[in-house]
Structure 1
Amino acid sequence: MQNKNLMIGIAIIASPIVFALIAFPDSFSLSWNQGRGGFIFALVFVVAELIGLKIIISKKRLISVIPLSVAVITYLVGLEYGLRDYILSSAESFNVQLIYSWTWMWDFIVMGIFVMVALSIFFGKRWIRIAPAGPIFLVGSAIILSLDTFFPYDSLGPLQYVVPYLVQTNVWLVNVFDLGTATARDNIMFLKGDFGPMVLQVFWPSAGVHSIIIYSLVMGAFLLKMNIHRNRKLIYFGLGIVGTIGVNMIRIFSLSWYALKVTTDAKQWEEFHSVAGEIMFLPWLFVFLLIVIILETKRLKKSESEGKLPPKNN
């Protein structure tokens, strides 16, 4: 029998996201800094972590979260009736250069706070071990958007530091696969392919550095709740970092390939660039988490069949 109150709780958490998806579908872009596509992935995390729980949520707790859900929906509607203009106008006061990151940042802040508060009302302090991935994904996205807002392009040195190495590696790959001519200087690539030359300047978001931060936050929260030995957690975390860097290399390589083999038209290239990274990173994140779950589930069943106790969560 399904835990009815739990399903209602999930529905309450999902309601602002579902409302936005129905009322403002055009706002759900896969680009990390141009829409609410991240809301859907956060919701998937929440649902995946809550489905099947045996914990009973009281009716009183459910009712207490409904006004918060209504408040978030009111915020989303208010954006269409002047609130977004107010947020845009306030950007100048904070010397914001990238206004789109600024406006979407507030969406993720509001949704992240809502999901965290809702989960804390439902489960108390235990929420961080029950369903941390969704809210941490939202808050992590808000942090990345804030960094892009206040430290645009290459102004944030530590995050930009690794980009030239990724660019040099990509140039080497382009030349190895004989896709065209490619050279690099710092974070700038000079490409010449089937449709002529194109110069690409790569900043840390385009290089996927933000995805490493998001991965670290989500995977850290995910491993925190798993009852496995610390060494195995470190191994999984490290493998995920390597995999995420690999995905980022594929991201940069695909952007170069598009310029070399498809088009050098800036508008068309930018359309591809806006979605290429998230199309690769988010599925990779889900697949990697799924692999970890499958491996550890099999390992736990094997330990139980052999009469061994599972390792302590440390």
Structure 2
Amino acid sequence: MQNWNLIFGIIIISSPILFAMIAFPDSISWSWNEGRGGYLFALVFVVAELLGLKIVISKKRLLVVIPMAIITISYLISLEYGLRDYIIESAEQFGVQLIYSWTWMWDFVVMAIFIVVALHIFFGTRWIRIAPAGPIFLTGTAIILSLDAFFPYDTLGPLQYVVPYFIQANVWLITVLDLGTAVAKDNVMFLRGEHGSIALQVFWPSAGVHSIIIFSLVIGAFMLKLNIPRNRKAMYFVLGIIGTIIVNLIRIFSLSWYALKVTTDPAAWEEFHQIAGEIMFLPWLFAFILVVILIESRRLKKLESKGQNHT
């Protein structure tokens, strides 16, 4: 029997994101700080975690959330009629350095608040264990955007600290593979390849440090849901962080390869740079979660079969 109230609940909670995708498709950019591409992945998290639940949501709770969804949609619409200009103007009052990160930050803040409140109305405090990944992804993205807005480039020392090590590893790999000439100095790479020379200055977002933070938050939430021993949770968490670091190294390498082998034209390179990170990180995040689920499902079946054999 279909849990229709749950399905309606999923539709209601998804409606603002679906509206943004349909009404403002140009805003769904895959660059993490230039659009609402993260909305889509948050939506996937929410739907994946809610589908199949046996919990029945009362009609009263559904009706309470509908006006909230309408208010959130109204926020998205109002951005096109002056609200975005007001947000941009307010940036100066708060000492914001990067305007676009500031404006997109509020989109993620509003959506995170809506989904958290909606889930709380649907499930009470249990929502933290039922469907935490989507809200945490949105909140994490908002936090990263705020850091980028207030502390751009290399002004946030702790996050920038690891960047030179990433660059050194990348230069070593380019040299070993004989792809061209690569020299590193602090957070700058000097590359010379088939299409000329280019200097790339790498800051913590471009190095993928933000993805490590978001991965930690999402996987931390995911581990809360898993009923497995703590040592296995810790193992998956550490392996996930290591994997994310490797993905980020591949990201930097791919950007370097593009400059060495494809083009040194700044505009063309920037287009590739805008999408390269999210194309790699987000599939990796979903793939990692899927692999963990498959491994633990098989392990649970083996434990159950052993228990039946003993009885």
Deviation of 1:183 (Å): 0.3
Residue in structure 1 matched with residue 133 of structure 2 by the alignment: 133
SS at match of 1:184: strand
CA distance in structure 2 between the partners assigned to 1:2 and 1:167 by the alignment: 53
Residue in structure 2 matched with residue 120 of structure 1 by the alignment: 120
Residue in structure 2 matched with residue 288 of structure 1 by the alignment: 288
CA distance in structure 1 between the partners assigned to 2:230 and 2:50 by the alignment: 24
Residue in structure 1 matched with residue 56 of structure 2 by the alignment: 56
1:173 and 2:173 matched: yes
Residue in structure 2 matched with residue 240 of structure 1 by the alignment: 240
Deviation of 1:307 (Å): 1.5
Deviation of 1:242 (Å): 0.5
CA distance in structure 2 between the partners assigned to 1:258 and 1:134 by the alignment: 33
Deviation of 1:150 (Å): 0.5
SS at match of 1:22: helix
SS at match of 1:92: helix
User: How far does the alpha carbon of each residue in 1:110-140 deviate from its partner, in whole angstroms, 9 at most, with x for none?
Assistant: 0001000000000000000000000000000
CA distance in structure 2 between the partners assigned to 1:210 and 1:237 by the alignment: 16
Residue in structure 1 matched with residue 196 of structure 2 by the alignment: 196
CA distance in structure 2 between the partners assigned to 1:160 and 1:44 by the alignment: 31
Residue in structure 1 matched with residue 143 of structure 2 by the alignment: 143
Deviation of 1:154 (Å): 0.4
CA distance in structure 1 between the partners assigned to 2:230 and 2:113 by the alignment: 29
Q: Name structure 2 gaps, 5 residues minimum.
A: none
Q: Which runs of 4+ in 1 moved over 2 A?
A: none
| TM-score after normalising by structure 1 | 0.97
CA distance in structure 2 between the partners assigned to 1:46 and 1:288 by the alignment: 17
CA distance in structure 1 between the partners assigned to 2:39 and 2:305 by the alignment: 40
User: How far does the alpha carbon of each residue in 1:42-100 deviate from its partner, in whole angstroms, 9 at most, with x for none?
Assistant: 00000111110000000000000001100000000000000000000111111112111
Residue in structure 1 matched with residue 228 of structure 2 by the alignment: 228
Residue in structure 2 matched with residue 311 of structure 1 by the alignment: none
CA distance in structure 2 between the partners assigned to 1:104 and 1:270 by the alignment: 19
Matched-pair identity in %? 74
Residue in structure 1 matched with residue 210 of structure 2 by the alignment: 210
Name the aligned partner's letter for residue 179 of structure 2. L
Residue in structure 1 matched with residue 67 of structure 2 by the alignment: 67
User: How far does the alpha carbon of each residue in 1:16-37 deviate from its partner, in whole angstroms, 9 at most, with x for none?
Assistant: 0111111100000000000000
CA distance in structure 2 between the partners assigned to 1:268 and 1:89 by the alignment: 31
| TM-score after normalising by structure 2 | 0.98
- Number of residue equivalences: 308
Name the aligned partner's letter for residue 36 of structure 2. R
CA distance in structure 1 between the partners assigned to 2:176 and 2:106 by the alignment: 43
Residue range with higher mean Cα deviation, 21-30 or 88-97: 88-97
Deviation of 1:11 (Å): 0.2
SS at match of 2:82: helix
Deviation of 1:182 (Å): 0.2
Deviation of 1:142 (Å): 0.2
